[in-house]
Amino acid sequence: MRSCDVYWLGRLPYEPAWRLQTAMVAAVKRGDMGFSLLLLEHPSVFTLGRRADGSNLLWSEARCQSEGVDVVRSDRGGDATYHGPGQLVGYPIVDLADLNMDVWQYVRNLERSLISYLRTVGIESAGGPPGLAGVWVGPDKIAAIGVKLSQSVASHGFALNLTTDLRIFNEGIVPCGLADRRATSVAAVGGPSLDVESSARAFTPHFGECFQSETRWFDSARLQSLGEVAGDAVETLESRF
């Protein structure tokens, strides 16, 4: 069985986390790192993926500032989404060739891992039909998925709404560019009020099972070996831990 190194990063701003992913992708390509999973939450931020033209960002720059929500253009797939407190974010960094998967199989496994975890907290959910990647409870999306491939190395990943502020999510953007769909959360569908770090640790075995991998937890200080390649991402981690 392959292994997957798992890191809890706490609450980390989006852009340092993005730079950290970029450094890890480069390390995987060099053969210096293997399969890894970063688990964290972000301060409030709207991100616009590669397909986004900005039309699905509904709030003005001034409104975003007044609400304390940053706006970042990202290189992940997908359109507009929201990250914020009360949301479990997962960024697997992995060479899909090592998993013997194409990107669609990979996305389906991400969905399966989240569906399996949600079942343990009493929520039945399902993956989306073709063109609607993510995890859904009825017509509403409870987890978004957006992936980037660099050659065969995947980054970015998923965001599972636990106690997320859905007002920001559903008023500030058209989530994932789907005007007829809404975002929901574990709390909003009657599930328990879940702490993000506890959920990260409870979710990890489901991830390992779906990817047939042994999950091994490491302190985030181990990522400091990336040094200057990760820039202020590592400095941000050092200031937190």
And the tokens for 83?
């990250």
- CB-based contact 41:89 (threshold 8 Å): yes
3-state SS, residue 107: helix
Which is catalytic among the residues 4, 64, 176, 210?
176
Q: Give the mean model confidence (pLDDT) for residues 123-141.
A: 91
Query: For 138-194, how does the pLDDT look when each residue is reduced to its tens digit (9 = 90+)?
Result: 999 999 998 999 999 999 999 999 999 999 988 998 875 565 678 999 999 999 999
Q: Report the DSSP beta bridge partners of residue 183.
A: 141
Among all chains, which residue has been given the structure tokens 């200080």?
Answer: 221
Number of domains in the chain: 1
- Any catalytic annotation for residue 176? yes
Whether residue 125 has pLDDT greater than 50? yes
For residue range 61-119, list pLDDT tens digits in order. 999 999 999 999 988 877 888 999 999 999 999 999 999 999 999 999 999 999 999 99
pLDDT at 227: 59
H-assigned helices in the chain = 14-30, 61-67, 96-99, 103-120, 166-172, 196-210, 232-240
Contact 77, 155 (CB under 8 A): no
CATH of the domain at 101: 3.30.930.10
Per-residue pLDDT, averaged over 19-43, amounts to: 96
Q: For 7-30, what is each residue's pLDDT tens digit?
A: 999 999 999 999 999 999 999 999
Q: Which domain holds residue 76?
A: 2-240
Selection from 94, 230, 73 nearest residue 149 by Cα:
94
